[in-house]
A and B are shown apart, each in its own frame.
Chain A
Amino acid sequence: MLKRLWATMRKGRLERELDDEIRFHLETLEEEFVAKGMNRDEARLAARREFGAVEPMKEAYRERRGAAWVESLWQDVRYGLRVLRRSPGFTAAAVVTLALGIGANTAVFSLVRAVLLKMQPVERPEEIVALSKTGGYHVRKFSYPFYQELEGRKDVLAGLAASGGWQRARVRMDGESGSEQRFVERVSGTYFATLGVRARLGRLLEPKDETSAVISEELWRTRFGEDARVLGKKITVDQRVLTVAGVAQRGFRGLEPQAPIDVWTPILMDAQWKKFTTSSWLVLLARLREGVSAEQLREAVEVAHRSYMEEALRGQNHPWKADLLGSRVVVRPGAAGSPRLREQFDRPLVFLMGLVGLVLVVSCANVANLLLARGLARWRELSVRLAIGASRSRLVRQMVTESCLLAVMGAAAGLVLAVVGSEVLVRFLPYQGAGTVGLDVTPDGAVLGFTVAAAAAAVLFGVFPALRSLRPVRRGGQGSRRALVAAQVALSIVVVAAALLFSRSLAELRGVDAGFDRDGVFTFALELPAEYTRPQAAAVYERVLERLQRVAGVAAASHAAPGPFREGKGSRTLLVRGERGETPQGVDVQEVTPNYHAVLGAPLLAGRGLQERDRVRPVRSAVVNEAFVRRFLQGLGEPVGRRVGMGREADGGPFFSIVGVVKDIRHQALREAAVPMVYMPARRDEAFNSVPFQVRGTMKPEDVRAAIAEVDGQATMGEQWWLRQWVEDSLSQERLLAAVSGMFAVLALVVAAVGLYGVMAYGVARRTREIGIRMAIGARRGEVVWMVVRDGLAAVGLGVATGLPAAMVASRLAGSLLYGVKPGDAVSLGAAVGLLAGAGAAAAFAPARRAAGIEPREALRHE
């Protein structure tokens, strides 16, 4: 194979040689014709005539050269297949080991590619970056005025677009009565131009657009039958009527692969948002100006943002002023992978990729071990072939071909595993919020390329034993085999330790007291048509609550905004003392019905809960949590009965009496300790058109749905979940890490144990005679067993000695991915060593028993 590679590299030289040869031929003929009396031109023509056409001949020559290459390759492959067929056990073991290693790697890579790497179909996607913020109160997003200001920064930007984010919205087509759920994104008029997306039909959104919409090519094809008359049609998105201006280029569905967009609407559909200087709701997408690095852009935006914020907050007594000024700007790839999933999963995925890489090495070591053992077994055959004149390089080529065949078979089987595996992996991603509906993990060119690279790594491992078995002197090879086993053990310890740490983190998180009982609570968002007035909406909710009480199995029902584990939160300014000139502080607020804490199973610690009489105007009572008391009321005496000022008009604004204190609830995530929270009574006379409901009991969801339909036929239920699922979903990162690293750990353990078993079994077979002699001169069976087991444990011990420090380093890298366990957690590391030692002992046991069963008489007759 190397020879062939060399041949292709020096093709240039072969071509030149051919030219030289032809030139010699032609010129010699020409000279002879001149000598016979022709003039130069005649002679040249005559020479050409003798020779025949040059180019076709060169073509035939080249073809011949290529054909030989293929012929001898084919010959090697056929021979290799025959050899592999002769030892099916070996072949199966090697292929299965490789398939598992390659399959696991390809599966993880498919996910890494879909979430982190895959470029979206926009122009020069590598230039597109997404801007976000950290550290501030309103994280991630920017305000509209800031977007407008930044747009002028031509020194760092080649284009800037804003997106109000995507959502599933009800879309109704022209002339149809029913509506359908589609992914809709609100984008600025610069969106398509910045991304370099072209129109398939009509035109795309422009900065002045207010009532136009652009649809995806997919929607155009499937819903409008590619009819050009779609232009000018009306399309209703959440009660807003827009005109279809154009169709985007084929394949473009926005930048979030899990939310394939079908309709883009102008961002200014909500014109009132224009005015808010500090409210942040826009994702900014920028195209880097040529020669500007992502870091330079980041710095420029951060400086611009800080001065913008200082200006906007000048003279204001804003509760989140310090937070807002202190926020840092982050720049991420904007058109690669899934920007939203990336935030949560880039580190876990990279870590898993590293772990699964170790699994591949363990698998390859196993294959190398198998090849080595077989090389020794074939030593006789190879010696004979060498003796009758086969060239050494020819034999190496043969063995490399065999390795390649194994790798190809392993890769093919691995690819099948990977297709299944990556589908399984996707299920670990969260549904809530991000959703994984559209995430495509079917293998593409890059994934196949990765598989080929993994297979190539396996081939490299095969070359080493191939060369080894051609050494003229027969050597044991047990040394290097034992080293391979030790390496397998060491790597396996890293994988197993990581898996244990991750599952302990997950267990810790699951055991966290979230402050509520997550079992038996059904949640859903109830959505009402936009034409309902606020009082009408509130009246519907009241009737729904009342009706739900009568559904079989319902213990209690409430509505709350935003409710537990929901995105988005309300916040207010707070004046603890209510004195003039007091600096307002920020606090989170939930608007709940009195039953809320009963539904969640969160106990009241002091005072009373909210009551129906609190729900009328003017609202003057509120319940707070423990964190609120700790943070704001320390040293101020009894919280119950205390009056605090709250609301936008904070200075002299409405005052609330704290009527009760409830236990802390982790409302956002299990990882995050409860934040100070004020529970205000939800008014019964006014409500928004969408409110999350919570129902506790043993009811059936379909009964709940039926009850709601009974109350109001136009009410729809948004996403419906059991709270337990919802909470579980918030652990998707930890679950992914624990489950996947767990699978890898089992894989690594099994493969390493098989490797050890192979070495031990071979060792015993080789030492049959020696053991027989030992037993003949009086060694006891127990001693023989120990001798063999000790051998295996020595290899394991060596592996442990090198693996433990590696595991420490790896666990430190995992650092922030862990919860409730320290990176160097002795229990996890100890358990990992124990598992490996156990697997090692198990693997050594069978060969040891065989050794003990050796009959001295038989053994001595052995040779």
Chain B
Amino acid sequence: MSKQDSRPDVLQGTLDLMVLRTLETMGAQHGLGLARRIQQISGGILDLNQGTLYPALLRLEQRGWVRSKWGVSDNNRKAKFYELTAKGRRRVGEEAEEWSRTVALMERFLRAAEE
């Protein structure tokens, strides 16, 4: 149903988790701030089209993990701010755990293949 969401450069699940996790640590953020922060943390490894973020944010909002409201940015302009909901906060924990498990699993396979 939502094939267009999975851009070739970022896996859908990973972007979700990145956004959620960033919101958890930084609090309410607008789209640009989020994009910049994600690129900053990725250290330039991630070649992210910043626009890709918005459909992802909408999806998170529809699932009830994120909510948005209009506010004023640092440069004194009207901007839409996103923040985690209680449900979203719980979700970050779950997703992180799942991700760690996946990573651990993949690592084992990669090691096994080396031997």
Cβ distance A54 to chain B, nearest Cβ, rounded Å: 7
The answer to whether A51 and B50 touch across the interface, beta carbons within 8 angstroms, is yes
Across the interface, A68 reaches (CB within 8 A) one of B31, B62, B78, B80, namely B62
Q: How far is the CA of A239 from the CA of B17 in the complex (A)?
A: 88
One of A19-27, A654-662, A711-719 at the interface? A19-27
Cβ distance A14 to chain B, nearest Cβ, rounded Å: 10
Asked, given contacts A51-B49, A64-B2, A64-B5, whether A25 binds B32 with beta carbons under 8 Å apart, the answer is yes
> How many A residues are at the interface, by size bracket?
20 to 34
| Contact digits for B38-67, partner A, Cβ 8 Å, 1 yes 0 no | 000000000001111011001100100000
Cβ distance B40 to chain A, nearest Cβ, rounded Å: 13
Cβ distance B12 to chain A, nearest Cβ, rounded Å: 12
The answer to the question of A343 belonging to the interface, with a C-beta cut-off of 8 Å to chain B, is no
A131-158, CB < 8 A from B? none
Q: How far is the CA of A59 from the CA of B54 in the complex (A)?
A: 11
Task: Give the residues in chain B near A29, CB-CB below 8 Å.
Answer: 32
Asked, given contacts A31-B75, A67-B2, whether A57 binds B52 with beta carbons under 8 Å apart, the answer is yes
Q: How far is the CA of A71 from the CA of B63 in the complex (A)?
A: 11
Q: How far is the CA of A17 from the CA of B80 in the complex (A)?
A: 9
Specify the main secondary structure of chain A where it touches its partner. helix
Task: Give the residues in chain B near A9, CB-CB below 8 Å.
Answer: none
The answer to the question of A52 belonging to the interface, with a C-beta cut-off of 8 Å to chain B, is yes
A63-79, CB < 8 A from B? 63-65, 67-68, 70-71
The residue of chain A having its C-beta at the shortest distance from the C-beta of B1 within the complex is A67
Asked, given contacts A24-B77, A24-B79, whether A51 binds B1 with beta carbons under 8 Å apart, the answer is no
The answer to the question of A50 belonging to the interface, with a C-beta cut-off of 8 Å to chain B, is yes
The answer to whether A63 and B75 touch across the interface, beta carbons within 8 angstroms, is no
The answer to whether A60 and B5 touch across the interface, beta carbons within 8 angstroms, is yes
The answer to the question of A322 belonging to the interface, with a C-beta cut-off of 8 Å to chain B, is no
The answer to the question of B4 belonging to the interface, with a C-beta cut-off of 8 Å to chain A, is yes
Q: How far is the CA of A60 from the CA of B30 in the complex (A)?
A: 19
Cβ distance B91 to chain A, nearest Cβ, rounded Å: 17
The answer to whether A71 and B50 touch across the interface, beta carbons within 8 angstroms, is no
Cβ distance B96 to chain A, nearest Cβ, rounded Å: 24
Specify the main secondary structure of chain B where it touches its partner. helix
Task: Give the residues in chain A near B1, CB-CB below 8 Å.
Answer: 67, 70-71
Across the interface, A64 reaches (CB within 8 A) one of B32, B50, B55, namely B55
The residue of chain B having its C-beta at the shortest distance from the C-beta of A17 within the complex is B80
Q: How far is the CA of A52 from the CA of B106 in the complex (A)?
A: 31
Asked, given contacts A24-B79, A68-B62, whether A61 binds B55 with beta carbons under 8 Å apart, the answer is yes
The answer to the question of B73 belonging to the interface, with a C-beta cut-off of 8 Å to chain A, is yes
Cβ distance B11 to chain A, nearest Cβ, rounded Å: 16
The answer to the question of A28 belonging to the interface, with a C-beta cut-off of 8 Å to chain B, is yes
The answer to the question of A2 belonging to the interface, with a C-beta cut-off of 8 Å to chain B, is no
Cβ distance B44 to chain A, nearest Cβ, rounded Å: 13
The answer to whether A24 and B51 touch across the interface, beta carbons within 8 angstroms, is no
Cβ distance A653 to chain B, nearest Cβ, rounded Å: 90
Task: Give the residues in chain B near A57, CB-CB below 8 Å.
Answer: 49, 51-52, 54-55
| Contact digits for A8-39, partner B, Cβ 8 Å, 1 yes 0 no | 00000000011011101101110100000000
Task: Give the residues in chain B near A51, CB-CB below 8 Å.
Answer: 49-51
Q: How far is the CA of A50 from the CA of B38 in the complex (A)?
A: 13
The answer to whether B55 and A24 touch across the interface, beta carbons within 8 angstroms, is no
Cβ distance B85 to chain A, nearest Cβ, rounded Å: 14
The answer to the question of A53 belonging to the interface, with a C-beta cut-off of 8 Å to chain B, is yes
Q: How far is the CA of A27 from the CA of B59 in the complex (A)?
A: 24
Cβ distance B16 to chain A, nearest Cβ, rounded Å: 13
Cβ distance A388 to chain B, nearest Cβ, rounded Å: 15
The answer to whether A61 and B54 touch across the interface, beta carbons within 8 angstroms, is yes
Task: Give the residues in chain B near A17, CB-CB below 8 Å.
Answer: 80
Q: How far is the CA of A50 from the CA of B35 in the complex (A)?
A: 10
Q: How far is the CA of A63 from the CA of B58 in the complex (A)?
A: 11
Q: List 22 A-B contacts (CB under 8 A).
A: A17-B80, A24-B32, A24-B77, A24-B78, A24-B79, A25-B32, A25-B35, A25-B50, A27-B77, A28-B32, A28-B75, A29-B32, A31-B75, A53-B51, A54-B51, A57-B54, A64-B55, A64-B58, A65-B58, A67-B2, A68-B59, A68-B62
Additional A-B contacts beyond A20-B78, A53-B49 (8; CB < 8 A): A25-B31, A29-B32, A31-B75, A51-B49, A51-B50, A53-B51, A63-B55, A67-B2
